[in-house]
Homo-oligomer: A and B are copies of this chain.
Amino acid sequence: MNESHFLHGFLNPKSVAIYGANNKGNSLAGLQIMNLIKSSYEGKVYPIHLKLESVMGFKAYKSIADIPEIPDLVVIVLPAKIVPQIFRECGKKGVKRIILISGGFRELIGERKNSLTEQINDIAKEYGIRFIGPNCLGVYNNWYRQEEEYKSFNIFIWENLKRSKFSVASQSGTLSCHIWYDPENLDLGLSRSLSVGNEANVDIVDCLEYYKDDDYTEIIGLYIEEIKRGKKFLELAKEVTPKKPIIAIYVGGSKAGNRALQSHTGSLAGNSKIYEGVFKETGIIQTNYVQEFLDIALIFSKGIIPKGKRLGIITNSGGPGAMVANNAETHGLIVPEFSDTLQKELMSNLPSTASFKNPVDCTFDMDLPYFYITLPEILMKSGEIDAIIQYGVVGFQEVLDEYLKYDQIAKHAEFQHQPDEIVDKLAQKLLQPTMKNSQKYSIPIIYINPMNFNAPWSKNLRKNGAILFRLWDRPVNALARVCEYIQYRSKFQAKY
């Protein structure tokens, strides 16, 4: 839990006071209170409002002084210029933690300090307050009640998310929050999310330090526009990456990118070459793409880490097989031609039109237990590969069901709709042995079904723990990045 770290209290407050909250659905602070309700927050909630008697059913207070205890955490969504006064009131009350959502402190000036930022920093120092922000969105803790999934401490994510051990710290609110807004297409889940905004007091380095020793964080995602404490970051990252992968989006380098950064958080654009050097030196996986950021985390999230970069490809269609092979090599994976022994073993079971060299192309004419169980097992046991991508795990029952809707077909076709329980059992029977083998041999297997990600068979695969993609571009690129990291990490394996 890393309870000794100061950020622990921000993620596990027993009571929260919110400035700026009202009953309007389109106000930021209103949304924050609604999120507390939605995620079943069990602590005390104290809205602070000059006029309202209550906010979303919680008794409102005219000032922080009126609240009957010292709130564990204070959230502020108010115009920048009155924030110093609020900070002082909080300090006098004895508050030690503030999340400052409001913008307008620094991002417009483009300098390290302006008087407002200086003022709040001075007040914070005077009263021993730590604060996150300004210009941030909040914090999220999906393990707030460890025994109860879907209870979280959450002021800023609209969706109830699956739990995982992927934790994020981000200098952009969107990257800490909006990217989770389609949970039905995202198997990744989330552990904690920290939106750090302009980092006047708490920075991304603090977050990394917290995640380093946090039992509920096994994979770390960072969105970086600027690192203020470079030396400390470097030190920490070197300590973390041999144990926990860090995936980082770094924005900067291009002219327009730098201009955007300056408007956004007011960061002085860094030299992207220096950042890239730091990432490389510390084994941080850098990406420019938010989808890749999520994909890499998804592969890690299953906890099955490949030992090397040799990819085995199973397919029932030549085109995707060829594209996967080609892109894999282009991105630094190895697609070895299988040994004669292995080819012979495969040949004895596959139809004559199949091919066995890697990719293994079973053609359309395939036998399901062989395709889902035996074939991956033969490859995993062979010692010739470190990861598998398997194309063509289509939901054939759904296809047939679609045809059965047509009278003319229903009357004559020699097949029938299978009840869901039977399909569920089939999925379990076909998938579970391979999931176990994947764990046993530490060989991740990535499935690709070109049908809808929420089609019945796709859902069945996902329910059984499979890593599933709809098309074959993304998993190759993400796996290549995972394997680069593995190579970096292998240098330390003797130590850990």
List residues of chain B with CB within 8 A of the CB of A31: 399
- Interface residue from B30, B185, B260, B290 paired with A318 (Cβ < 8 Å): B260
Segment touching B, from A2-10, A232-240, A412-420: A412-420
- Shortest distance between the CB of A213 and any CB in chain B (Å): 27
**So how many copies of this chain end up in the complex?**
2
**A19 located at the interface, meaning its Cβ lies under 8 Å from any Cβ of chain B in the complex:** no
Contact-residue size bin, chain A (C-beta under 8 Å from the other chain): 35 or more
**A349 located at the interface, meaning its Cβ lies under 8 Å from any Cβ of chain B in the complex:** no
**A355 located at the interface, meaning its Cβ lies under 8 Å from any Cβ of chain B in the complex:** yes
Given contacts A26-B400, A56-B408, A174-B319, 9 further A-B contacts (CB under 8 A): A34-B413, A104-B352, A107-B353, A249-B323, A256-B326, A259-B337, A259-B357, A261-B322, A288-B326
Hey, which bits of chain A sit against chain B, CB under 8 A? Answer: 22-26, 28, 30-31, 34, 37-38, 54-57, 103-104, 107-108, 158, 170-175, 178-179, 181-182, 184-185, 223, 225, 249, 251-257, 259-261, 263-265, 288-292, 313, 317-323, 325-330, 335, 337, 352-353, 355, 357-359, 361, 363-364, 394, 396, 399-400, 402-403, 406, 408-409, 411-415, 450-453, 470-474
A256-B329, A288-B326 given; A38·B172 CB < 8 A: no
- Interface residue from B260, B289, B451, B472 paired with A321 (Cβ < 8 Å): B260
**Contact between chains at B25 and A414 (CB < 8 Å):** yes
A37-B406, A290-B471, A472-B290 given; A355·B263 CB < 8 A: yes
**Contact between chains at B25 and A412 (CB < 8 Å):** no
List residues of chain B with CB within 8 A of the CB of A403: 25, 34, 37-38
List residues of chain B with CB within 8 A of the CB of A364: 28
- Interface residue from B57, B181, B260, B412 paired with A55 (Cβ < 8 Å): B412
A323 to B363, CA, bound (A): 41
List residues of chain B with CB within 8 A of the CB of A55: 412
List residues of chain B with CB within 8 A of the CB of A223: 319
- Shortest distance between the CB of A395 and any CB in chain B (Å): 10
List residues of chain B with CB within 8 A of the CB of A399: 31, 158
- Shortest distance between the CB of A127 and any CB in chain B (Å): 27
A290 to B358, CA, bound (A): 21
List residues of chain B with CB within 8 A of the CB of A396: 26
A251-B326, A291-B473 given; A353·B103 CB < 8 A: yes
List residues of chain B with CB within 8 A of the CB of A263: 318, 355, 357, 359, 361
**Contact between chains at B34 and A450 (CB < 8 Å):** no
Residue ID in chain B nearest A470 by CB atoms: B182
**Contact between chains at B413 and A23 (CB < 8 Å):** yes
- Interface residue from B290, B291, B319, B451 paired with A171 (Cβ < 8 Å): B319
